[in-house]
Homo-oligomer: A and B are copies of this chain.
Amino acid sequence: MADETVTAGLLVIGDEILSGRTKDVNIAATAEFCTDLGIELREVRVVPDVTDEIVGALDALRHKFTYVFTTGGIGPTHDDITADAVAKAFGVALPINPEARAMLETRWKSAGTEVTAARLRMARIPEGADLIVNSVSAAPGFRIGNVHVMAGVPIIMKAMLEAIAPTLRTGRKVHSITVKAGVGEGAVGDALGEIQSRYPEVRLGSYPQMGGDRPTTELVLRATDEALLAEAAREVRAMVAAAHERAGLPAPDAEVY
């Protein structure tokens, strides 16, 4: 298992992200979560609270990747339609789940909260799904097939990711090395492309850093093979040292660059 590529797609559900009212932070949190586990997050989609849009995106992603994570739309109000859309995509019913209801009622009882039709919406779970525990506010997420349905509230989303982590197959861990260059992207682009062509299994990214006195660049190397990564990084460091020399800059500090 450990040398197999495990992939994921993320589906962010909610009008509030698309209107700009809420700034999404779940994309970055999920990306870091996946990278830490050696899962390759390959695609993200953000769709509105519209059933057909959710179903369409879900079907596209779930057939393409090992896992799909969704965030948003599982609360108690009429615009929380993620469970409905997931049940529709899988062609299953959406009954009140006794276990989910019990989790919620325990919490409500201790808080003196009345059971209402709106609140009970949160206990509707597609048939055949397993619950994902919500340690923050009780209302559970769920897993059906390769799809993990989680909350949009960032702290709950993070807690749910932690809850599912032990259940996920993890892929080959991707290692990364960052090499900082005291010159702009244009000064290293040709040489970097040449190195990339010789190391197809190392992913070479180039990221301009703006806002300082002069342009600098961060070169990020990523690979699953640590020896190959180290070898490519040596070449990139030598290339950057040469670019510094051409630009009349001091040699890059081996520790920093």
Contact = CB atoms under 8 A, between A and B. Distances in A.
Q: Which of A22, A23, A122, A189 has the most CB of B within 10 A?
A: A189
A46 B19 contact: no
B53 A43 contact: yes
Interface in A8-29: 12, 15-25, 27-28
A75 interface: yes
Given A43-B45, A210-B153, A205 B119 contact: no
A75 B208 contact: yes
Nearest to A154: B210
Interface residues of A, number: 70
B21 A119 contact: no
A79 B28 CA distance: 21
Interface in A201-220: 203-208, 210-211, 220
A186 B18 contact: no
Interface string A65-92: 0000000000111111000000000000
A118 B186 contact: yes
Contacts of A79: 196, 204-206
Contacts of A206: 75, 77-80
A113 B214 CA distance: 12
Interface string A138-166: 00000000000000010100000000000
A192 interface: yes
Contacts of A210: 136-137, 153, 155
B46 A34 contact: no
A252 B241 CA distance: 65
Contacts of A42: 18, 48, 53
A180 interface: no
A35 interface: yes
Contacts of A207: 16, 21-22
Given A189-B77, A189-B118, A44 B46 contact: yes
A44 B20 contact: no
22 contacts: A16-B207, A18-B40, A19-B31, A21-B207, A22-B207, A27-B27, A44-B45, A44-B46, A49-B205, A77-B185, A77-B188, A77-B193, A78-B197, A78-B206, A80-B206, A113-B186, A116-B187, A118-B185, A118-B190, A118-B192, A119-B186, A137-B210
